[in-house]
Structure 1
């Protein structure tokens, strides 16, 4: 009997402290909360929050089901999430048994804390959105990084192709040199043939015509060789510029690939952080 009285006295002392201290605690609490104190049958005191509140009054009987009843019957702290469909708002209840009654070790009462889950749900939603967004960004950056790598490979291929073209163009120098040599020899041949034709008089007239055509052909060949050489120089210059441009593009694409890989790694960290935020939200 003394144990029962001690348990009830503990509940009464807690009620007095509850009435005095908990309004202050509620005011400085960072989130919306409510408190309730019961004995083993009824609610003794109830302090609603700003949003989180339930329709109970001091003296009301403890429901036959729920966290408070479970804490009384099992003698342990019970936590449970109550959906918005029950009281119009979602909250988490934590019911802690206090005291003992009638010498059987069962609690003499229960102190219950109700925590508004609106902030938790908002935090979970934000974490979910962050996880989805970071996953989308990570996928996009991975795709960009892959594209940049492919672009760098294609640019390198173009550079190699340009170098091979320059190499092939250099081979034309030998051909042009041969054409110039033939042109010069043909010019000399034409001059000599003209001289001989002149010495032959009327008998060398036909030979003179041939000599003249040879000189014309030699001049035309020399002119064409010069034009081809000019064109090839222009091509070499432009290929050189193209190679420089491709070199810059290659460097930029490599930097882009490296940057997007860093972004992808950051997005991976964001995803991890979002998971941690969800876990923290569940603890609240």
Structure 2
């Protein structure tokens, strides 16, 4: 079978280009453009809605373009072009074509809009930055909660120490009560002896009366002290219970914030993966 001449081969490619690529463009999920060249000039062009370059059929191939590089090196060349070049950012992929004899026949170029990539890349960057800030904040909160739990533990120990010291006052109160009781007995005995002594024991009776008053006053004071100490013990016990609950809540908060920080780490990793995927678009 006779091989087609280069011009015939290019006409076949142009016919296929004009027949198939508009359909591909319609079903492609991103905005794309297509261009077909021979070894010297453009032969067909299908602009996208936003991705477009100022060209016309028979326009020469730019000397330092990806198309010229693909022809010279006979390999697929990709490049990202910013908005400053043609007004919209897109990724250019130029694939060299060979004729039936294996010689360079031209280049098929695909231009893919980078608009979605830029949006996705910006969102990923913002997500990475936000997750980093949240991660730092949660680490700080977790550390604060841990420190708070430690401080509460110290307060709890102090409260328990105070309760222990207060219990030592029981011996002092017991001694005061014993003194009071003995003083009362001493006053009663002194009154009896004063009564037996008659007129000569009158002064002794006054002393006995004062001893009884002192004993009653000591007993009343002991009861008041006992009540006060009991109240203090109850309040300290309530404080101890409250501190215990606060310590448990602080520990729970520290654990919860550490879990949040771990989630933020995963979120940051996901943001990096999104950026990697965006670069493939």
Task: Return the TM-score normalized by structure 2.
Answer: 0.95
1:269 Cα deviation after fit: 0.5
1:7 Cα deviation after fit: 4.9
1:212 Cα deviation after fit: 1.2
* CA displacement, residues 114-150 of structure 1 (integer Å, 9 cap, x when unaligned): 0111111111110100000000000000000000101
User: 1:158 and 1:135 mapped to 2: Cα distance?
Assistant: 34
Name the structure 2 match of 1:20: 19
How many residues align structurally? 280
* CA displacement, residues 21-47 of structure 1 (integer Å, 9 cap, x when unaligned): 111111111111111011111111111
User: 1:200 and 1:13 mapped to 2: Cα distance?
Assistant: 150
Name the structure 2 match of 1:277: 274
1:6 Cα deviation after fit: 5.2
Residues 209-248 of structure 1 mapped to structure 2, 5 A cutoff? 209-248=206-245
User: 1:188 and 1:226 mapped to 2: Cα distance?
Assistant: 19
Runs (4+) of structure 1 exceeding 3 A deviation are: 5-11
1:76 Cα deviation after fit: 0.4
| Of 254, 258, 277, the match for 2:255 | 258
* CA displacement, residues 206-228 of structure 1 (integer Å, 9 cap, x when unaligned): 22221111111111111011111
Residues 121-160 of structure 1 mapped to structure 2, 5 A cutoff? 121-160=118-157
RMSD: 1.5
Residues 161-240 of structure 1 mapped to structure 2, 5 A cutoff? 161-240=158-237
Structure 2: which 5+ runs fail to align?
Answer: none
SS in 1 for 2:138: helix
Task: Return the TM-score normalized by structure 1.
Answer: 0.94
Residues 46-195 of structure 1 mapped to structure 2, 5 A cutoff? 46-100=45-99, 106-195=103-192
Contact 1:72-1:106 at 8 Å conserved across structures:
no
Structure 1: which 5+ runs fail to align?
Answer: none
**Distance change >3 Å, CA 195–CA 12, structure 1 → 2:** same
